[in-house]
Amino acid sequence: MFGNVIVGQSGGPTAVINASLAGVIKTARDRGAEKVYGMRHGIKGLLDHNYVDLSELADSDMEIDLLKRTPSSYLGSCRFKLPEISDDRETYEKIFKILDELNIKCFFYIGGNDSMDTIKKLSDYALIINSDIKFMGVPKTIDNDLAVTDHTPGYGSAAKFIASTMKEIIRDGLVYDYPTITIVEIMGRNAGWLTAAAALSKGEDCEGVDMLFLPEKVFDIDHFMSRVKEQAESGKSMVIAISEGIRVMDGRYVFELSDHVEFVDAFGHKQLAGSAKFLANKIGAELGIKTRAIELSTLQRCAAHMASRTDITEAYNVGGAAVKAAFDGESGKVVVIKRISDDPYMSITETHDVHQIANVEKKVPLEWITEDDFVTDDLIHYIRPLIQAELSPIMINGLPRHLNCDLR
Ligand code: F6P
């Protein structure tokens, strides 16, 4: 008799985070877990005894298949930072009491670099109290900013959505016989991986974006305005991709230069939104050109209808690999993806110490960004395999069918 396992999802959702959940629950059942519990709203929910028994779901191949194609976090999510162990042992005592009551042997947390902080602290505490519960991190984030892993599940699908949406925006943006400017704001916080995906729009059927601004380089507004002016004077319409995280020389985000409402989450991250609107207004006011600002916002996070099958497969595999590692006795680790070949693309999974991954932001290397703020072919070659192939949604009555969990 093995005992039970528990799994949670944390941070921003993705189109494939539920494929990882499917990988965890199916593999755990196949390997002998008696019950598989899901935390509703991550560790925050667990602290409120808010969990659900997923064992029946794990045993239904049809539901597992639907779960894999369901975007966003089936179990709900949280942005909750556990206290430092030295500051508040009570919280940890409470969590471990709940885990013991549920006879939990392995704990899986699907998330990005902030969520891995939870695995780090819980596995550290387990060592302190000599608990034999295993804690494993399962990687996810559309931002692709997790250290060590070649890339994160969730990124390939968001990149595929961004590149294809940019193609459609470019088609729309170039129709008039007078110059218009469309600025598209893309997520990714302080890393430009997602914005770089806009460069994939260029091909034999599409001229691609005209400018691309990643947060890894300081954003020079005067230089930007003069480039826009110069191009517009030649009568050319433009589509420009910017990261939500671009900053000016003094460190302020571009959206902070305008009136904005400040919201900061538990990890100290500001809500980043409004840079495209600010720049579009500035161009309109100063250059008199028709502009449009598009925030891709949450549309890019959960676009399961444009998901990458490569991404779904890898997301499922990292879930399964986490279970295998935990059942083999590993703890305090994160599953990472290692690219072993580009052509044909092939990857394997490994595990890595969570201490080197939690709270670390991996940015786009500067050598992959050109002098004129574009991206190099190396960066395009890095992204391209991750967006390959499709897995069609199950369509019912003209719309994709999703699996829904009661989160109340
Ligand atoms: O999960 C990462 C991310 O999608 C970032 O790209 C974005 O800045 C952030 O989440 C937004 O988070 P929230 O949903 O908490 O506003």
Residue with CA closest to ligand 1 atom 10: 12
Cα–Cα dist 296/279, whole Å = 15
Cα–Cα dist 333/123, whole Å = 9
- Ligand 1 centre distance from Cα of residue 142 (Å): 9
pLDDT digits (tens, 9 = 90+) for 177-224: 999 999 999 999 999 999 999 999 999 999 999 999 999 999 999 999
> Which regions of the chain carry the CATH code 3.40.50.460?
155-300
Superfamily of domain 155-300: Phosphofructokinase domain (3.40.50.460)
Q: Counting atoms of ligand 1 from 1, which one is nearest the CA of 189?
A: 8
Burial grade of 200 (CB within 10 A; 0-12, 13-18, 19 or more): buried
- Active-site residue, selected from the candidate residues 114, 117, 143, 311: 143
pLDDT of residue 258: 87
Cα–Cα dist 366/196, whole Å = 12
pLDDT digits (tens, 9 = 90+) for 214-265: 999 999 999 999 999 998 899 999 999 999 999 999 999 999 998 777 899 9
Tell which one of 78, 142, 157 to mutate to probe ligand 1, the residue whose CB is within 8 A of the most ligand atoms. Answer: 142
pLDDT of residue 408: 67
Residue 126 identity (one-letter amino acid): A
Q: Counting atoms of ligand 1 from 1, which one is nearest the CA of 79?
A: 15
Cα–Cα dist 188/195, whole Å = 7
Judge whether 143 counts as a catalytic residue.
yes
Mark the ranges of the chain whose per-residue pLDDT is less than 70.
1, 408
Residue with CA closest to ligand 1 atom 12: 12
What does CATH list as the number for 3-141+304-359+390-400?
A: 3.40.50.450
Check if the beta carbon of residue 59 is closer than 8 Å to that of residue 29. yes
CB neighbours (10 Å) of residue 223? 10
Q: Ligand 1: residues within 6 Å at CB?
A: 11-12, 79, 112, 141-143, 187-189, 244, 265, 271-272, 301
Check if the beta carbon of residue 182 is closer than 8 Å to that of residue 173. yes
Pairing of strands 104-111, 134-139: parallel
Residues 6+ apart with CB under 8 A from 12: 77, 112, 141, 142, 143, 301
Q: Counting atoms of ligand 1 from 1, which one is nearest the CA of 244?
A: 8
254-to-101, 185, 238, 267, 312 alpha-carbon distances in Å: 49, 11, 20, 21, 34
pTM value is 0.97
- Ligand 1 centre distance from Cα of residue 194 (Å): 12
- Ligand 1 centre distance from Cα of residue 294 (Å): 17
pLDDT of residue 262: 82
Cα–Cα dist 199/375, whole Å = 7
pLDDT of residue 261: 78
Cα–Cα dist 356/342, whole Å = 26
Residue with CA closest to ligand 1 atom 1: 12
> Which regions of the chain carry the CATH code 3.40.50.450?
3-141+304-359+390-400
Strand order in the sheet with 211-213: 211-213, 238-243, 180-186, 290-295
- Ligand 1 centre distance from Cα of residue 141 (Å): 9
Residue with CA closest to ligand 1 atom 14: 12
Check if the beta carbon of residue 194 is closer than 8 Å to that of residue 300. yes
- Ligand 1 centre distance from Cα of residue 270 (Å): 10
User: Phi and psi of 12, rounded to 5°?
Assistant: -65, 145
The closest alpha carbon to 190, from 266, 80, 114, belongs to: 114
Residue with CA closest to ligand 1 atom 8: 189
- Ligand 1 centre distance from Cα of residue 259 (Å): 21
Q: Label residues 296-309 b or e (16+ Cβ within 10 Å = b).
A: beeebbbbbebbbb
Residue with CA closest to ligand 1 atom 13: 12
pLDDT of residue 215: 98
